Chains A and B, each alone.
Chain A
Amino acid sequence: EPEVTQTPSHQVTQMGQEVILRCVPISNHLYFYWYRQILGQKVEFLVSFYNNEISEKSEIFDDQFSVERPDGSNFTLKIRSTKLEDSAMYFCASSQSGVANYGYTFGSGTRLTVV
């Protein structure tokens, strides 16, 4: 069964450093998403991406965050200057047709620890 692949599985970074989280969505999916989950809390929407541009973003997704689909297969989330409160599990997801008819396929996540 096709999978969404995320790398790395765990990343530790110093506060103020830039991090890039990588995702390879399912190949025939057109909609891509990033979510995060702070330990023990709910899964929060960050951003959705379709047709090479952001279609929705949340209040969390401020100027420190950016997304890119650099080569038609990878989908990356960059945090420019990490804060302690960015420590969380980050999930990438993809979907065939957006929110309407299909569920999302999620990756296994990247656990980001900011120290």
Chain B
Amino acid sequence: SQQGEEDPQALSIQEGENATMNCSYKTSINNLQWYRQNSGRGLVHLILIRSNEREKHSGRLRVTLDTSKKSSSLLITASRAADTASYFCASGNRDDKIIFGKGTRLHILP
């Protein structure tokens, strides 16, 4: 089954606004992770939230997890041009791997 389906697929916002991306998954998880990928580059780990956590913050990032709805959201506050990238959620369960979603392409407009 597919894990980690993000929406929207693409998002354009003005610099300074908040960006919210959502992720849904299908099976039980141990944790949910978010990664950023700049065009043509590698994936950078942003934040990990465990299945027994509901919310986590890291700088301008806020992640929520609702295991009853099998969904997570990533909020980037006060967006900057440098936040332009693709954002992926990835689900980790008891297997030794994480499974990525298709990603949200975020574009910050000046």
Measured CB to CB, the residues of A under 8 A from B are 31, 33, 35, 41-45, 48, 50, 55-56, 58, 91, 93, 98-109
Q: Is the CB of A45 within 8 A of B99?
A: yes
Min Cβ gap B14→A in Å is: 26
Min Cβ gap B18→A in Å is: 23
Min Cβ gap A53→B in Å is: 11
Q: Is the CB of B92 within 8 A of A106?
A: no
How many residue pairs link A and B with beta carbons under 8 A? The number is 68
Number of interface residues of B (CB under 8 A): 27
Q: Give the residues in chain A near B96, CB-CB below 8 Å.
A: 31, 48, 50, 55-56, 98-99
A100/B31 contact (C-beta < 8 A), A42-B101, A56-B96, A56-B97 known: yes
B43, B101, B103 — most chain A CB neighbours (10 Å): B43
Q: Is B108 an interface residue (CB 8 A)?
A: no
Instruction: Give the contacting residue for B100; candidates A31, A42, A103, A105; CB below 8 A.
Output: A42
A99/B41 contact (C-beta < 8 A), A45-B98, A45-B99 known: no
